[in-house]
A and B are shown apart, each in its own frame.
Chain A
Amino acid sequence: MSAAAALPQIGCADAPVLRERGQREVFCGLTGIVWLHRKIQDAFFLVVGSRTCAHLLQSAAGVMIFAEPRFATAIIDERDLAGLADCNAELDRVVTRLLERRPDIRMLFLVGSCPSEVIKLDLSRAAQRLSQRFLPQVRVLNYSGSGIETTFTQGEDACLASLVPEMPAEPGAARSLLVVGALAEVVEDQFLRIFAALGVGPVRFLPSRRAAELPAVGPGTRFLLAQPFLGDTARALEARGATRIAAPFPLGVEGTTAWLTAAAEVWGTPPARIAEATSSAATRASAAVGRIRERLAGKSIFFFPDSQLEVPLARFLSRELGMRLTEVGTPYLHRQHLAEELALLPEGTMLSEGQHVDRQLDRCRALRPDITVCGLGLANPLEAEGLTTKWSIELVFTPIQGYDQAADLAELFARPLLRRAKLAV
């Protein structure tokens, strides 16, 4: 760790990373269902797993009262554990019952879990079999959201990667831009307007709002990742001939400008036009962020690993808000996709990958950062110890990308401090 501080370098591109193993206080990939089911409106997520999986989902999402929930669990019981052939027949029965109840479903995801992976239940074959039976009304796909294979947002990666083979082929080599990663609808619309001004297009989004409207992909497709946790999806798109446009992620003014510019340059948009298309939004956003900077500059921040958004967030908070980074933890560090981000991190930033939660808590308590970004399992206990926290899951549920959300993103970090200062009891 101290070696990291001693190395003279610009950015953190080659900085050593503390790799730890031990208890990991993170979600499994099933949690992705909580936002994906809102994004793809006619899809249904059927987890094949245990009561634990069902309990996780309802504990996370069950506070909303659903007239018609769009996710469920096929709970494996003893009889299923006795023999696999039986398991497949059971799955067919459950899916049939579900589809009878919900004739409006157009896409069904069979989502693998730890139990289904450990007993090696072949959900991809089951998905093929069921697809044959229910097409054209319902397409059945599968991905794994198990804890043993995926951490939190990697569930979205696995889901989107399963969609890639289903995307229609782009006829010819026509150039198109694909924006990858679930974004808030308002953010999508903003980006569409800016891309139009930049002369970049046609622009499509993965995932699409409806299952039937999957974007086309082909050798002419250039894609921009809107989220940093999409390793498998990117690989699947590349396998279909698409090319990734390397860029930092669209968080904050700087990140958004760099992200948009990376695409515009591929389209050959002249610098003057890029400046024209982005400057007014960028100026407005900078001013808004600047007002919050007063409240955050100089404050220290500590990231527990959670979503892989940690590195881009740390970059934004240090460069645009003047915060001091202590430790930046991430569940998984995708060096290639984060290369542009790492180069922008202040040198000497302590990066950690993986987790030993008790030791990390010890480090956090010793540092006593002004803000600790952590999951909900740690947030209230740390608050009770007098540390101000920002619960990290909210960063996945909130529109934070793009110019007009930059100040909102900063505000998310300023709010817990403001609240602590405000409360007199």
Chain B
Amino acid sequence: MQLALWTYEGPPHIGAMRVATAMDGVHYVLHAPQGDTYADLLFTMIERRAKRPPVTYTTFQARDLGGDTANLFRESVLDAYERFRPQAMLVGASCTAELIQDDPGGLAKTLGLPIPVVPLELPAYQRKENWGASETFYQLVRACAGPHVPKPGTVRAKGATPRCNILGPTALGFRHRDDVPEVERLLAALGIETHVIAPMGATPADLATLGEADFNVVLYPEVAGQAAAWLRRSFGQPCTTVVPIGVGATRDFVQEVAKLAGVPATTAEGALRLPWYSRSVDSTYLTGKRVFIFGDATHAIAAARVAQEEMGFNVVGLGSYSREFGREIRAAAALHGVEPLITDDYLEVEAQIASLQPELVLGTQMERHVAKRLGIPCTVISAPVHVQDFPARHSPQMGIEGANVLFDTWVHPLMMGLEEHLLGMFREDFEFNDGVQPSHLGHGSKKDLGAPSQSGREAAPAAQPMPVPAAETPHSAAGALSLSWGHDAEKELKKIPFFVRGKARRNTERFAQERGIGTITIETLYDAKAHFSR
């Protein structure tokens, strides 16, 4: 059993739904108990789709368990076929139905429907959402394109213009909608035609023609890596390995694609603003900001490169919940000289952030909870996300405009330069002080306005819903057993700007412990500062 306050991924059948919902002409019959239809809301509310997902649930109840749930499933398949007349059908079980073992695939086969029926084996107690999406897409691609695989040894004929498929975008994907046109723009500039985009917007008939393209662009390896590998084996189509998130990665991507297509590499960078914004003197104060990064492997690795090379931050932690991509994460972490954190345990991520005390967290919706608790600025770079991260405006992460979006969204939660300087100099201002949020974020806490923050507590901007255990982290609490802070030193500590104060406290305590100092004085504080000066 795993204690999960939050989970980074849903169960694997959610991944299958993301593929089915992204496509047209596919229907998914899911053997699942009453209540599992909550998943429809992910699409109708979080992604704000105007249609019901193409999913029929058997919604069995306790009283059905004594009876014939297999028959219930059969009837649901027949009903769904009659009503929706899809080109292809997916059948599978959710976690509870997996326990009652009705074998949806076998049952559906006996019905003899005149369309391809793809049985999905998604082990809900071992695997998760992205794996489910990947497996579903792979099985669909095999079922649809499989009959068109050429005989071994066939040499593929090259067309006049190079053509590629774009693989990976799904329903409920973080910015998938806007990434696709950005990538199409990059490809169009190279004179490359887009053949099929899948699963987003594709039909089973489209999947059947995937083999007609020259190569595949894999935008989201978590979803499309497996299908692309099969297409390479079956149709001899090479695929891209670089994900164009960030300026450097976009340039590398263009090089890679140009090579695959056999055309000269060109990019129109006229609208690219990140490099200049990042070089302009206003951004100098961003140098060396300590940043912790967590998300799916693709977005986390890309973010680390952008943070280090394009924003001038220091990456102090890098991790991912995508266990399937452990190798890639470890390689990227080694590149940045940090310990990789590969876990789907929210509490472990929380502990890591608490101990690293970064100045900015780039993470998922879940890291926003941690960041709120610890009072650290935070930006979302990866799924899982909530409704506010399916915006109406164009907001890609990929390509030229994607880089511009990254600059704005990452810098936004940080204290602006002037405010940061003035806070460092004058600590007792009644309006601008540690206890309140950066003023460009609007709402400072009303209570603090008018009364100088004498407590000087670690910044915790929003109202707490209930008594929270002391702001001390488990680590500092453990360290405090044999250590105490002298009154003067404690006061002096509060003169350190709040966003680095946690780090200063931690360093000073470590410094004192290593030297067997029992009570920390102002001297110890400055000794430690000199020792660790960054």
Q: Across the interface, name the chain B residue whose C-beta is closest to A30.
A: B35
Q: Which of A25, A72, A93 is the one whose CB lies under 8 Å from B5?
A: A72
Determine the chain A residues whose CB is within 8 A of the CB of B44 once the complex forms. 376-381
Interface centre among B1, B65, B384, by most A CB within 10 Å? B1
Closest to A105 in B: B466
User: Contacts A62-B365, A90-B1, A148-B33 hold; do A380 and B45 have CB atoms under 8 A apart?
Assistant: yes
Which of B123-131, B143-151, B334-342 contacts the other chain?
Answer: B123-131
Most buried by A among B51, B62, B65, B368: B62
Q: How far is the CB of A139 from chain B (nearest CB, A)?
A: 18
| A114 in the interface (beta carbon within 8 A) | yes
Q: A94: CB under 8 A from chain B?
A: yes
Contact with B along A13-27 (1 / 0, CB 8 A): 000000000111111
B211 at the interface (CB under 8 A from A): no
Q: Is B60 part of the binding interface, using a Cβ–Cβ cutoff of 8 Å?
A: yes
Q: Chain A residues near B94 (CB, 8 Å)?
A: 52
Contacts of A97 in B (CB 8 A): 3
- Asked if A381 and B124 sit within 8 Å, CB to CB, the answer is no
Judge if B277 is at the interface, Cβ distance under 8 Å.
no
Residues of chain B from 91 to 111 with CB closer than 8 A to chain A in the complex: 94-96, 99-100
The 8 A CB mask of B40-51 against A (1 = contact, 0 = none) is 111011101111
Contact A376 B41, CB 8 Å, known A67-B369, A68-B373: yes
Q: Is the CB of B469 within 8 A of A67?
A: no
Question: Is there a chain A Cβ closer than 8 Å to B484's Cβ?
Answer: no
Chain A, Cβ-Cβ closest to B49: A380
B468 contact from A41, A67, A118, A384, Cβ within 8 A: A67
- Tell me the complex Cα distance, A36–B64, Å: 29
Q: Which of A70, A80, A380 contacts B48 (CB 8 A)?
A: A380
How many A-B residue pairs lie within 8 Å, measured between CB atoms? 208
B4 touches A148 (CB 8 A): no
Interface pair B369/A66, CB less than 8 Å apart = yes
**Known A27-B35, A51-B128, A90-B1: A380·B7 in contact at CB below 8 Å:** no
B34–A24 contact, CB under 8 A?
Answer: yes
Chain A hits for B56, CB < 8 A: 23
Q: Are A69 and B124 in contact (CB under 8 A)?
A: no
Q: Is A284 an interface residue (CB 8 A)?
A: no
What's the minimum C-beta distance from B31 to chain A, rounded to whole angstroms?
Answer: 12
* Chain B nearest Cβ from A423, distance in angstroms: 15
Please give me the residue from chain B that is nearest to A116 by CB atom: B96
Chain B residues with Cβ below 8 Å from A22 are 59, 79
- Residues 32-55 (chain A) with a chain B CB within 8 angstroms: 41-42, 48, 50-52, 54-55
- Chain A contacts of B83 at CB under 8 A? 358
Contact of A76 among B42, B76, B125, B387 (CB under 8 A): B125
Residues of A within 8 A of B10 (CB): 51-52, 55, 59
B99 touches A119 (CB 8 A): yes
Q: Which of B34, B79, B100 has the most CB of A within 10 A?
A: B34
Q: How many angstroms between the C-alpha atoms of A41 and B33 in the bound complex?
A: 30
CA–CA, A90 to B3, complex, Å?
10
Contact A56 B38 (CB under 8 A): yes
Residues of B close to A67: CB separation below 8 A: 369, 372-373, 460, 462, 464-465, 468
A73 at the interface (CB under 8 A from B): yes
What are the interface flags for B4-44 relative to A under an 8 Å C-beta threshold, 1 for contact and 0 otherwise? 11110111011000000000000000000111111011101
Complex alpha-carbon distance, A200 and B156, angstroms: 88
* Cα distance, A91 to B3, chains bound together (Å): 9
Residues of A contacting B373 in the complex (Cβ-Cβ under 8 angstroms)? 67-68
Cβ of B235 within 8 Å of any chain A Cβ, yes or no, is no
Residue with the greatest number of chain B CB neighbours at <10 A, chosen from A63, A87, A118, A377: A377
Partner of B33, one of A28, A80, A380: A28
Q: How far, in angstroms, from A76 to B58 measured CA to CA in the complex?
A: 23
Interface core residue of B35, B36, B95 (most chain A CB under 10 Å): B35
* B34 & A75 in contact (Cβ 8 Å cutoff): no
Query: Is B442 interfacial (CB-CB < 8 Å)?
Result: no
Given contacts A51-B10, A62-B6, A66-B372, contact A87 B1 (CB under 8 A): yes
Pairwise interchain contact B95-A52, C-beta atoms closer than 8 A: yes
Interface magnitude class on chain A: 35 or more
Instruction: Decide yes or no whether B407 CB sits under 8 A from chain A.
Output: no
A63 touches B1 (CB 8 A): no
Give chain A interface residues in 360-394, CB to chain B under 8 Å: 375-381, 383-384
Complex: how many Å from CA A67 to CA B471?
A: 11
Number of interface residues of B (CB under 8 A): 68
Mask: chain B, 239-283; 1 = CB below 8 Å from A; 0 = not = 000000000000000000000000000000000000000000000
B369 in contact with A77 (CB, 8 Å): no
The reply to whether B5 and A69 contact each other, CB–CB distance below 8 Å, is yes
Which of these, A51, A77, A102, A379, contacts B7 with CB under 8 Å?
A51
CB distance from B466 to the nearest CB of A (A): 6
Q: How far is the CB of B462 from chain A (nearest CB, A)?
A: 7
Q: Which residue of B lies closest to A103 (CB)?
A: B469
Least CB separation from B7: chain A residue: A54
CB neighbors of B among A169-206 (8 A): none
Interface residues of A in 146-169 (CB under 8 A from B): 146-149, 151
Nearest Cβ in chain A — how far from B388, in angstroms? 8
Name the residue on B nearest A59 (C-beta).
B42
Q: Are B128 and A65 in contact (CB under 8 A)?
A: no
Alpha-carbon separation in the docked complex, A73 to B3 (Å): 6
Contact check, A93 vs B1: say whether CB atoms are below 8 A apart: yes
Give Cα distance in the complex from A422 to B95, angstroms. 45
B101 to chain A, nearest CB (A): 11
Residue among B6, B50, B96 with the highest chain A CB neighbour number at 10 A: B96
Within the assembled complex, what's the spacing in Å between the Cα atoms of A87 and B2?
A: 11
Known A27-B38, A80-B1, A94-B1: A75·B369 in contact at CB below 8 Å: no
Digitize B60-86: 1 where CB-to-A-CB distance is under 8 Å, 0 elsewhere: 111011000000000010010001000
Report how far A97 CA is from B34 CA in the complex, Å. Answer: 31
Within 8 Å CB of B64, what residues of A?
Answer: 148
Smallest Cβ-Cβ distance to B370: which chain A residue? A67
Q: Which residues of B contact A27 (CB under 8 A)?
A: 35, 38
Say yes or no: A115 contacts B35, CB within 8 Å.
no
> What residues on B are CB-neighbors of A58 within 8 Å?
6-7, 384
Determine the distance from Cα of A96 to Cα of B83 in the docked complex, in whole angstroms. 50
**Does A98 count as interface, using CB distance less than 8 angstroms?**
yes
A117 beta carbon closer than 8 Å to chain B: yes
CB pair B125–A77 under 8 Å, yes or no, is yes
Q: Say if the beta carbon of A81 comes within 8 Å of chain B.
A: yes
Q: What's the nearest-Cβ distance from chain B to residue A188, in Å?
A: 19
- B52 CB–A CB distance under 8 Å: yes
> A55 to B460, alpha carbons, bound, how many Å?
27
Whether B125 contacts A62 by the Cβ 8 Å rule is no
A51-B95, A59-B42, A147-B36 known; A73+B60 contact, CB < 8 A:
no
Interface residues of A (CB under 8 A from B): 22-31, 41-42, 48, 50-52, 54-56, 58-60, 62-63, 65-70, 72-78, 80-81, 87, 90-91, 93-94, 97-98, 101-104, 114-115, 117-119, 146-149, 151, 358, 375-381, 383-384
A to B CB contacts below 8 Å, 7 in the list:
A23-B76, A28-B33, A28-B38, A60-B41, A76-B1, A376-B41, A381-B44
Question: What 16 additional pairs, Cβ within 8 angstroms, besides A52-B95, A376-B41, A381-B50?
Answer: A24-B34, A28-B38, A42-B466, A52-B11, A59-B38, A63-B388, A65-B369, A65-B462, A73-B7, A77-B1, A77-B126, A93-B1, A114-B35, A114-B96, A149-B62, A378-B52
Q: Which 3 A-B residue pairings sit nearest by Cβ, starting from the closest?
A: A28-B35, A147-B35, A377-B40
